[in-house]
Structure 1
Amino acid sequence: MTTTHPESTAELTVVDSGLLALVQDAGRRGWAHLGVGGSGAFDRPAMALANRLVGNDECAAVIEVTNGGLVFTCDAPTRVAITGAALPVKVGNRSRWTHEVIAIPAGGTVRLGVPERGLRSYVAVRGGIRAEPVLGSRSTDLLSRLGPPPLRAGDVLPIGRPRGPVPASDVVVPPPVLDEDEFLPVSLGPRADWFEPEAVEALLRSRFEVTADSDRIGVRLAGPALPRRIHDELTSEGVVEGALQAPPDGRLTLFGPDHPVTGGYPVIAVVRDRAMPLVGQLRPGQGVRFTRG
C-alpha cells in the first residue's frame, strides 16, 4: 500500500508487519445508521499517550500492533513513541523501550519485540500517519473492511507535517498490566431477563478465559453455561462495544471496536467504557471476571 498526501514530509516503510498491524485513530463515530461501526484503537488511552509524547493531536492516526513483531524504517529523521503493551525496541543495534520518545535517524530501522504482558502496542510517529481517511477516519475496520487494509511488508505510509512543539516530557511510567485475572465492571442488561437467575449469578461469580479465536470484532470467552429462561428467537437489535452476547452455545462474546452494529443473540450485560482499554490488552488464556460497577 503506497499513498501520497500533500501534507506529508516523510514516509514510513513496513519491513515486517508481525502478526497484525493496523492503522488506527479515534474511530468513525456516527455512522451506525448506515451499518458502519466505530472501530478505532482498542486501547484508546494508550494511543492518546503515544501521540502526546511526540506532540501530535491525541486522535492522530497511529499503528496498532498485535503481539509485537513490527519492523519499519523512516526515510527522514523523526521521533516515535510506543505505548500500550510494553515490549523491547531496537533502533538499529541500539536497545530502547516503550513509553519514551525515540529519535529515528533517516533510514533507521525500528524493530519491535514481543510483549511479555498485554497484547496491543501503539506506534505514534511525530506528524501522524496520513493514510487516506474513509468516512472521516483513518481506522481499519476488520469487519466492514473500511479504511487501510492490514499492513504488509513493503507498504509505505506517509507521515504528516508536525503541528505542535515537542513536549518537555519524553518518558512516562508504563501502566501496570497484571498477570492475574482481570476484573471488568459491567452493567446488566439489556436482555438479562432472558436468562435464568442462576445465569446472572454465574456471570458475576465465575472465571472466564479468553480463547485463541478472539480478535477486534469480539473477545471469545470460555466459561460456565449461562442457561436462558426465554428461548424465543430475538429480532436483531443494536449492539455496542463492550456488549456481552450469549449465542446458543453459551460461549460469551465480548464485542470489541470492530463489532457489528446489530446482533441477533441476547446481551446479558455490557462492559463499562472505562474498562474497554483493559479488554484490548487481554491475551488468550487470560482469566476474566465480571463485577457490577
Structure 2
Amino acid sequence: MSGLLVRAVGGPCLVQDAGRPGHAAIGVGASGAADRASYALANRLVGNEPGAAALEVVLGGLEVEATATVWVCVTGAPAPLTVAGRAEPTGAVRVLRPGERLRMGVPASGLRSYLAVRGGIAVRPVLGSRSRDTLAGIGPAPVAAGDLLPLGTAGTGAMLVDAVPPASYDDPALLRVVRGPRADWIADVERLVAAPWRVGAASDRVGLRLEGVALTPAVSRGELPSEGALRGAIQVPPGGGPVVFGPDHPVTGGYPVVGVVVDADTDRLAQLRPGDAVRWRWV
C-alpha cells in the first residue's frame, strides 16, 4: 500500500480535515483543522479537493518516509524542514520519492503546521469526517511512530504554484471580539479588552485558558443554565480566568459567554503557544 510511513513524532500529530458539522444534537462538535486557512492552503498547493485530510503537527518533530512517489507541502507554523536531507522552506511543494524522508523541526513562531499530501490521507472516516476530535474521542487515533498512512484519490486539481511565502505572526496577537450575550454577568467585563492576557499551559484544542488578573462575576446573578456553544466563544468560569473555545469545544456550556472571537480571527488562536501574549478589542 502506498502512503507515508511515520518514523517519528514530536508533539501531538493528528489527522484533520474540514470537520464534521451537523452533529451537535448527538453531542458531537464539528472539530476539524484548528488553523483552517493554513490547512486549506496546503491542500490547494498540492491540488487536493477541498476537505481532503492532512496532518496537523504541534511544534514539529514529525518524520515521515514515502513508500511511493508523493507530492507534499507544509504550511502554518514555519517549521524548518528537510526533504531527503535538503533544507526546504515551508509553503513549498516538493516531491518525495520512495524511501525519501521529510523531517520537520520546531517552528520559531506559531504552534501548528499542516502537512498535506497529494491525494489526501485516506484513513477511515467517522460520521463523514477523518478529523480527530480530542474531546469526543472519535476519529482516527493520534499519529504514532510506525503508522502507515494510506493515501487517497483527492488530488484531482493542478498544482499551480511552487511555493507561497511562509506565515508570520504578530506579537502580541490583537484579536477582534464581539460582546457576548452574557457580558453583564461579569462586573468588570471591560478589563477583558483593557488588560493583558497570556495563554496558559493547560490550553489545547478544546480551549485556550487565559492567565491574568481574574475577572469578577456580577453579584446576584444566580446560576446560568447550559447554553449552546461555538468556536471562539469566551466563557468565564467561577475562578474568573477566561476560556476561549477551540475546534474541539463542547456543544453546550454553563458559564457566561462574555464575548465571541470574530470567526476570521480564530485561525490565529490556533497558532498561539502557552506563554504567548494576546490582546482583545471590541468590534
Corresponding residue for 2:205? 216
Corresponding residue for 2:117? 125
Corresponding residue for 2:161? 169
Corresponding residue for 1:56? 48
Structure 1 unaligned regions, length at least 5 = 1-8
Shift of 1:165: 4.1
Q: Which amino acid aligns with 1:211?
A: G
1:154 aligns with 2:146: yes
Map 1:65-80 → 2, pairs under 5 A: 65-80=57-72
Residue 81 of structure 1 aligns to a residue whose secondary structure is strand
Corresponding residue for 1:272? 262
Residue 176 of structure 2 aligns to a residue whose secondary structure is strand
Distance 2:12 2:173 in 1: 24
Shift of 1:93: 1.6
CA pair 265-165 structure 1, distance change in 2 beyond 3 A: closer
Q: Deviations over 1:78-117 (max 9, x none)?
A: 1100000001111222111210101101111111000000
Structure 2 unaligned regions, length at least 5 = none
Distance 1:78 1:122 in 2: 16
Residue 275 of structure 1 aligns to a residue whose secondary structure is helix
Corresponding residue for 1:226? 215
Distance 1:85 1:125 in 2: 17
Bigger shift: 100-109 or 117-126?
100-109
1:96 aligns with 2:85: no
Coordinate RMSD, CA, aligned: 1.2
Q: Is the 8 A contact 1:10 1:160 kept in 2?
A: no
Deviating above 3 A after TM superposition, structure 1's stretches of 4 or more consecutive aligned residues are none
CA pair 242-165 structure 1, distance change in 2 beyond 3 A: closer
Corresponding residue for 1:244? 234
TM-score of the pair, normalised by structure 2: 0.97
Distance 1:155 1:231 in 2: 52
Q: Is the 8 A contact 1:83 1:121 kept in 2?
A: yes
CA pair 13-251 structure 1, distance change in 2 beyond 3 A: same
Shift of 1:170: 1.2
Bigger shift: 105-114 or 153-162?
153-162
Q: Deviations over 1:164-198 (max 9, x none)?
A: 243231111123212x21111111111111111xx
Q: Deviations over 1:20-58 (max 9, x none)?
A: 000000000010111000100000010110001100013
Q: Is the 8 A contact 2:59 2:107 kept in 1?
A: yes
Shift of 1:231: 4.2
Residue 110 of structure 1 aligns to a residue whose secondary structure is strand
Residue 52 of structure 1 aligns to a residue whose secondary structure is helix
Shift of 1:135: 0.7
Distance 1:86 1:32 in 2: 34
Q: Is the 8 A contact 1:49 1:58 kept in 2?
A: no
Q: Which amino acid aligns with 1:269?
A: G
TM-score of the pair, normalised by structure 1: 0.94
Distance 1:256 1:185 in 2: 15
Q: Deviations over 1:133-172 (max 9, x none)?
A: 1111000000001100111111111101354243231111
Distance 2:154 2:16 in 1: 18
Distance 2:155 2:12 in 1: 29
